[in-house]
Amino acid sequence: MSENIIEIEHVSFKYKGSEEGLLKDTSLTVRKGETLLLTGASGSGKTTIIRLINGLIPHYYQGDVEGKVTVAGRDIAKTELYELAGVVGTVFQNPRSQFFSIDTDGEIVFGPENVGLDPRAILERKDLVVSEMHIEKLLGRSLFELSGGEKQSIACASVSALLPDIILLDEPSSNLDQGAIRKLAGQIRMWKSQGKTIVISEHRLWYLKDLVDRVIYMDSGKIAHEWSGKEFASFDPGQIEQLKLRPLEVPDILSPGCGGDCDCDGSCKVDLTAPDPAGGITLKKFYFSYHRNPYLIFKKNFDENDKNLSLCIPRLVLPKGAVIGVIGKNGTGKSTFLKCICGLEKDCKGIIETDGKEYKGKARLKLSYMVMQDVNHQLFTDSVESEVMLSMTEPDKERCEKILDSLGILEFKDKHPMALSGGQKQRVAIASAMAADAKLMLFDEPTSGLDFNHMEKVGHLLKTLAESGNTVLVATHDPELIELCCDYVLCIENGKLGYMKRV
Amino acid sequence: MTEVVTNNSNKLKAKDFITVGIFTAIIFVVEFACGMLGYIHPFIVASYVIMIPLVGAIPMMLFYTKVQKFGMITIMSVLIAIIMFVTGMGFLGAPLIIAAGVIADLIAKSGKYKSFKKTMFSYGVFCLWICANYFPVVITADAYRKSLTDGGYSAEYCNNLFLAINYKTIGILLVLCFVFGCLGAVIGKAVVKKHFEKAGIV
Amino acid sequence: MKLDPRTKLFMILVVSAVVMMSATTPFLWAVRIVMTLIPIILLIIEKKYTSAFGFTFLYAAALVMTFCFINEASATFFKTFVTGYSGIVVQFMPCLITAWYVVRTTKIGEFMSAMQKMHLPDGITISLAVVMRFFPTIREEYSSISDAMKMRGISLGGGNAAKMIEYRMIPLLFSCVNIGDELSAAAITRGLGGNVRRTSVETLKLHVSDWLLITAFTAVAVIFVLFKYVL
Please tell me the predicted confidence (pLDDT) of residue A299: 59
- Interface contact B58-C183, CB threshold 8 A: no
Residues in Cβ contact with A6 at an 8 Å cutoff, skipping those fewer than 6 apart: A28, A29, A30, A53, A69, A70, A71, A72, A166, A197, A199
Give the angle C110-C115-C118 at the CA atoms, nearest 5°. 125
| A475 and A424 in a common domain | yes
Across A41-50, B18-27, B140-149, C39-48, least confident range: B140-149
Chain C nearest-CA distance from B117, in A, is 24
Does residue C10 fall inside a structural domain? yes
The residues pairing with A502 across neighbouring beta strands, listed in sequence order, are A488
| C146 and C38 in a common domain | no
Residue A58, preceding peptide bond in cis (omega within 30° of 0):
yes
Does residue C196 fall inside a structural domain? no
Does residue C199 fall inside a structural domain? no
Q: What is the pLDDT of residues A193-244, one digit of tens each?
A: 999 999 999 999 999 989 999 999 999 889 999 999 999 989 988 888 888 8
Chain C nearest-CA distance from B167, in A, is 16
Does residue C180 fall inside a structural domain? yes
Residue A254 CB neighbour total at 10 angstroms: 18
| C140 and C100 in a common domain | no
| A371 and A328 in a common domain | yes
CB of B139 closer than 8 Å to CB of C20:
yes
Q: What is the pLDDT of residues A380-422, one digit of tens each?
A: 999 999 999 988 888 888 999 998 988 888 999 899 999 888 8
| C148 and C128 in a common domain | yes
Higher pLDDT, residue C72 or A419:
A419
- Interface contact B5-A62, CB threshold 8 A: yes
Does residue A281 fall inside a structural domain? yes
| C86 and C57 in a common domain | yes
Query: What is the C-alpha to C-alpha distance for residues B37 and B32, in angstroms, rounded to an integer?
Result: 9
| A301 and A226 in a common domain | no
- φ, ψ (nearest 5 deg) of residue A248: -80, -25
ipTM: 0.89
CB proximity under 8 Å: B 151-180 to C: 151, 157, 160-162
Residues in Cβ contact with A46 at an 8 Å cutoff, skipping those fewer than 6 apart: A38, A39, A40, A170, A201, A218
Query: What is the C-alpha to C-alpha distance for residues B126 and B98, in angstroms, rounded to an integer?
Result: 9
Residue by residue, DSSP assigns chain C as ----HHHHHHHHHHHHHHHHSPP-SHHHHHHHHHHHHHHHHHHHHTT-HHHHHHHHHHHHHHHHHHHHHHT-SS--HHHHHHHHHHHHHHHHHHHHHHHHHHHHH--HHHHHHHHHHTT--HHHHHHHHHHHHHHHHHHHHHHHHHHHHHHHT-TTGGG-HHHHHHHHHHHHHHHHHHHHHHHHHHHHTTTTT-SSPP--SPPP---HHHHHHHHHHHHHHHHHHIIIII-
**With b meaning 16 or more CB within 10 Å and e meaning fewer, what string describes A307-320?**
eebbbbbeebbbbb
CB proximity under 8 Å: A 371-390 to B: 382
Q: What is the pLDDT of residues B52-70, one digit of tens each?
A: 999 999 999 999 999 999 9
CB of A417 closer than 8 Å to CB of A388:
no
Residue A35 CB neighbour total at 10 angstroms: 21
Q: How many CB pairs under 8 A join B and C?
A: 151
Residue B185 has pLDDT above 90, yes or no: yes
Q: How confident is the model at residue B1 (pLDDT cuts 50, 70, 90)?
A: very low
Query: What is the C-alpha to C-alpha distance for residues A253 and A489, in angstroms, rounded to an integer?
Result: 9
Residues in B touching C83 (Cβ below 8 Å): 161
Chain C nearest-CA distance from B104, in A, is 18
- Interface contact A82-C201, CB threshold 8 A: no
The residues pairing with A201 across neighbouring beta strands, listed in sequence order, are A38, A170
Mutate to test the interface with A, among B1, B4, B5 (most CBs of A within 10 A): B5
Cα distance between the two ends of chain C: 36
Residues in B touching C92 (Cβ below 8 Å): 88, 136
- Interface contact B88-C134, CB threshold 8 A: no
Alpha-carbon distances, residue A142 vs A105, A338, A446, C135, C182 (angstroms): 9, 26, 27, 13, 20
| A478 and A375 in a common domain | yes
- Interface contact C131-B21, CB threshold 8 A: yes
Does residue C147 fall inside a structural domain? yes
- φ, ψ (nearest 5 deg) of residue C124: -70, -40
B4 DSSP assignment: B
Residue A111 has pLDDT above 80, yes or no: yes
Residues in C touching A103 (Cβ below 8 Å): 107-109
**Percent of chain A beyond pLDDT 70?**
92
Residues in B touching C193 (Cβ below 8 Å): 13-15, 17
| A395 and A329 in a common domain | yes
Closest chain B residue by Cα to residue A421 = B1
Does residue C77 fall inside a structural domain? yes
- Interface contact A344-C150, CB threshold 8 A: yes
| C23 and C102 in a common domain | yes
Closest chain A residue by Cα to residue C141 = A377
Q: Which of B12, B26, B91 sits opposite C138 (nearest CB)?
A: B26
| A436 and A309 in a common domain | yes
Does residue A100 fall inside a structural domain? no
- φ, ψ (nearest 5 deg) of residue A214: -145, 150
Q: How confident is the model at residue A22 (pLDDT cuts 50, 70, 90)?
A: confident
| C88 and C9 in a common domain | yes
CB of C185 closer than 8 Å to CB of A92:
yes
| A317 and A434 in a common domain | yes
C154 at interface of A, judged by CB pairs closer than 8 A: yes
| C79 and C95 in a common domain | yes
| C11 and C51 in a common domain | yes
| C19 and C93 in a common domain | yes
Residues in A touching B5 (Cβ below 8 Å): 58-62
Residues in A touching B6 (Cβ below 8 Å): 62
Q: Domain residues for A26?
A: 1-85+197-248
Does residue A271 fall inside a structural domain? no
Q: What is the CATH number of the domain that holds A244?
A: 3.40.50.300
Mean pLDDT value across residues B134-145: 69
Residue A275 has pLDDT above 80, yes or no: no
Query: What is the C-alpha to C-alpha distance for residues C109 and C164, in angstroms, rounded to an integer?
Result: 37
CB of A247 closer than 8 Å to CB of A205:
yes
Closest chain B residue by Cα to residue C186 = B15
Does residue A337 fall inside a structural domain? yes
- Interface contact C20-B88, CB threshold 8 A: no
Mean pLDDT value across residues C161-175: 91
| A240 and A287 in a common domain | no
Does residue A101 fall inside a structural domain? no
Q: Which of A92, A117, A379 sits opposite C182 (nearest CB)?
A: A92
Residue B160 has pLDDT above 70, yes or no: no
Query: What is the C-alpha to C-alpha distance for residues A187 and A171, in angstroms, rounded to an integer?
Result: 15
A62 at interface of B, judged by CB pairs closer than 8 A: yes
Query: What is the C-alpha to C-alpha distance for residues B163 and B156, in angstroms, rounded to an integer?
Result: 10
Mean pLDDT value across residues A321-327: 91
Q: Write down which chains contact chain B via at least 3 CB pairs under 8 A.
A: A, C
Which of A384, A488, A363, A483 has its CA nearest to residue A431?
A384
Q: How confident is the model at residue C228 (pLDDT cuts 50, 70, 90)?
A: confident
Q: How confident is the model at residue C60 (pLDDT cuts 50, 70, 90)?
A: confident
Interhelix angle for C161-188 vs B14-40, to 10°?
150
Does residue A423 fall inside a structural domain? yes
**Percent of chain A beyond pLDDT 90?**
43
Does residue A161 fall inside a structural domain? no
Query: What is the C-alpha to C-alpha distance for residues A50 and A46, in angstroms, rounded to an integer?
Result: 7
Q: Domain residues for C47?
A: 5-107+204-230
CB of C16 closer than 8 Å to CB of B84:
no
Please tell me the predicted confidence (pLDDT) of residue A267: 44
- Interface contact A16-B15, CB threshold 8 A: no
Q: How confident is the model at residue A264 (pLDDT cuts 50, 70, 90)?
A: very low
Q: What is the pLDDT of residues A131-188, one digit of tens each?
A: 999 999 999 899 998 988 999 999 999 999 999 999 999 999 988 888 899 999 999 9
CB proximity under 8 Å: B 3-32 to A: 3-6, 15
CB of C223 closer than 8 Å to CB of C28:
no
| A349 and A239 in a common domain | no
Query: What is the C-alpha to C-alpha distance for residues A366 and A358, in angstroms, rounded to an integer?
Result: 12
| C86 and C12 in a common domain | yes
Q: How many CB pairs under 8 A join A and C?
A: 164
Q: How confident is the model at residue A262 (pLDDT cuts 50, 70, 90)?
A: very low
| C99 and C15 in a common domain | yes
Closest chain A residue by Cα to residue B8 = A59
H helix runs in A281-354, sequence order: 334-341
Mutate to test the interface with C, among A80, A98, A126, A139 (most CBs of C within 10 A): A98
CB proximity under 8 Å: C 192-221 to A: 192-201, 203
CB proximity under 8 Å: B 93-132 to C: none
Q: Which of C130, C171, C191 sits opposite A114 (nearest CB)?
A: C191
| A334 and A289 in a common domain | yes
Please tell me the predicted confidence (pLDDT) of residue B131: 87
Looking at the structure of chain A, the number of domains it has is 2
Residues in C touching B75 (Cβ below 8 Å): 123-124, 127
Please tell me the predicted confidence (pLDDT) of residue A491: 87
Does residue C121 fall inside a structural domain? yes
| A329 and A240 in a common domain | no
- Interface contact A370-C145, CB threshold 8 A: no
Q: Which of B29, B140, B157 sits opposite C22 (nearest CB)?
A: B140
| C152 and C58 in a common domain | no
Does residue C157 fall inside a structural domain? yes
CB proximity under 8 Å: B 26-85 to C: 26, 28-29, 42, 55, 58-59, 62, 75, 78-79, 82-83, 85
Maximum Cα–Cα distance across chain C: 70
Please tell me the predicted confidence (pLDDT) of residue A268: 46
Mutate to test the interface with A, among C51, C151, C156, C168 (most CBs of A within 10 A): C151
Does residue A105 fall inside a structural domain? no
Q: What is the pLDDT of residues C6-50, one digit of tens each?
A: 898 898 888 888 887 777 777 888 888 888 888 888 888 888 888
Residues in A touching B200 (Cβ below 8 Å): 17, 416, 419
Mean pLDDT value across residues C171-178: 94
**With b meaning 16 or more CB within 10 Å and e meaning fewer, what string describes A415-425?**
bbbbbbeebbb
3-state percent helix, strand, coil for chain A, nearest multiple of 5: 35, 25, 40
- Interface contact C193-B14, CB threshold 8 A: yes
The residues pairing with A74 across neighbouring beta strands, listed in sequence order, are A71
Residues in A touching B16 (Cβ below 8 Å): none
Higher pLDDT, residue C87 or A402:
A402
Looking at the structure of chain C, the number of domains it has is 2
Query: What is the C-alpha to C-alpha distance for residues B71 and B67, in angstroms, rounded to an integer?
Result: 9
Residues in A touching B195 (Cβ below 8 Å): 382, 416, 418
